Amino acid sequence: MKIPRPKDVKAAAANDATLVVTSADFLLSMVETRWASKNGSGRKIESSQREHRELQKIEQQLTKLQSDTGQDDATRTEIRQLHERVETLRKQMAAHFAAWEKTELARHPQRPYALDYIERIFTEWSEIHGDRGYADDPAIICGMARFHGEEVMIVGHQKARDTKQKVYRNFGMPNPEGYRKALRAMKIAEKFSRPVFTFVDTPGAYPGLGAEERGQAEAIARNLREMARLEIPIITAITGEGGSGGALAIAVADRVLMMENAIYSVISPEGCASIMWRDASKKELAAQALRITAKDLTELGCVDGIIPEPEGGAHTDHAAAASHLDEVLKKNLSEVKNVPIKELVASRYKKFRNMAEFSRVEA
């Protein structure tokens, strides 16, 4: 058996390197083309799993190659360029899926719901029921509680985890009586000068036959008008899904805060995709286009602050999520509490009056 001389080994390695680079380049261009065609044309975007895996493989090969010694300068530059291409593609994919990933996190079945937060942040929770007109809506919970010793009113959407409870809570989709109950609770708070906290987490107001008969639109509209002039501090936290009018109906507040992975939108990404793209599977595109993440809303000036979540999302650690929320609520309450109430209502009005002013005057 012939023992290769050192010179031959070096040459073989160099040869090998060029081969790897060429093949990596080829693979990468395949992934790029596929991504471009998926993103642009009418083809479905099912998942990015495959692309992610392939990118990882290419990356591994390149890193290995980089750590090897004995390449010439040309190969080195090529490797660097390939690295950059992988990075750009990664970023594109991340941007594309970021909004949709947040949507999935916001809807995560293990995500803490209003009662989970109430249990951890408040004491002496005492629920109140019914709209005094028709029924009690379990999709919205209202009640008195103590927040660091202070009496407060809580209003929040409530979702549930097991099927029976989900049906009971109507998947967090309130009927008109839910909104009327919420308003009634807020009026009680106003009468006795207690601040109101609202927790928003709903796919939207329930689009049912009975809801229409009993005036879903009127119930929401009235809440919007009354909350605008309610003479007590109101603080809203959007903890999960902020589903359109159904969310806004309890979110006209002095401070509207959004959890890091929450979304707030005029229509669900699926709904938007099926109307605008005539294809519900374009939900990722719609989620991105609608700009529904906490960061987007802050940039658009529609929310006042972002509440951080534990690494990986609120569902990974309910206690940590609650303590983050607690801290932010405490800070905001102490800020608004010291403002004279007339001033507070005036500044709330001004905030919503000047919000989302994206029109310009043309000659």
Q: How far apart are the first and last CA of the chain?
A: 89
> What is d(CA 117, CA 121) in angstroms, rounded to the nearest whole number?
6
**Measured between alpha carbons, how far is 141 from 178 in angstroms, rounded to an integer?**
8
Burial zone of 50 (CB within 10 Å; 0-12 exposed, 13-18 middle, 19+ buried): exposed
Does 133 engage in binding with other proteins (CB under 8 A)?
Answer: no
For the bound state, the minimum distance from the C-beta of residue 271 to other proteins, rounded and expressed in Å, comes to: 8
255-259 and 234-243: which strand pairing? Answer: parallel
Residue closer to other proteins, measured from CB, 125 or 134: 134
> Looking at 52, 90, 291, 315, which residue binds other proteins (CB under 8 A)?
291
Q: What is the closest distance, in whole angstroms, from the C-beta atom of residue 291 to other proteins in the complex?
A: 5
Interface residue with other proteins among 98, 267, 280, 320 (CB under 8 A) is 267
360 binds other proteins, rule: CB under 8 A = yes
Interface with other proteins includes 11 (CB under 8 A)? Answer: no
DSSP assignment letter at 354: S
- Which of 45, 151, 215, 298 is close enough to bind other proteins by CB under 8 A? 215
* AA identity, residue 233: P
Considering the complex, what minimum distance in angstroms separates the CB of residue 47 from other proteins? Answer: 21
DSSP string covering 128-194: E---SSS---TTEEEEEEEETTEEEEEEEE---SSHHHHHHTGGG---HHHHHHHHHHHHHHHHTT-
- The pair of three-digit structure tokens given for residue 66, joined into one six-digit string: 């980089």
Please tell me whether residue 356 binds other proteins under the rule CB under 8 A: yes
Nearer to other proteins by Cβ, of 302 and 339: the residue is 302
Q: Which stretch binds other proteins (CB under 8 A): 9-17, 32-40, 56-64, 221-229?
A: 221-229
Q: Verify binding: residue 302, other proteins, rule CB under 8 A.
A: yes
Buried b (16+ CB within 10 A) or exposed e, 68-87: eeebeeebeebbeebbebbe
CA atoms within 13 A on the CB side of 306: 16
Residues found in the chain:
363
Give the C-alpha separation, 346 to 349, whole Å. Answer: 5
Tell me which residues in 224-263 interact with other proteins (CB under 8 A). 224-226, 228-229, 244-245, 248-249, 252
213 binds other proteins (CB under 8 A): yes
Q: Which of residues 78-117 bind other proteins (CB under 8 A)?
A: none
The reply to whether 40 sits near other proteins by the rule CB under 8 A is no
- As measured in angstroms, the least distance from the Cβ of 359 to other proteins is 4
- 353 contributes a contact to other proteins by CB under 8 A: yes
Q: Which residues bind other proteins (CB under 8 A)?
A: 205-209, 211-218, 220-222, 224-226, 228-229, 244-245, 248-249, 252, 264-267, 272, 275-278, 285-286, 289-292, 296-297, 300, 302, 349, 352-353, 355-363
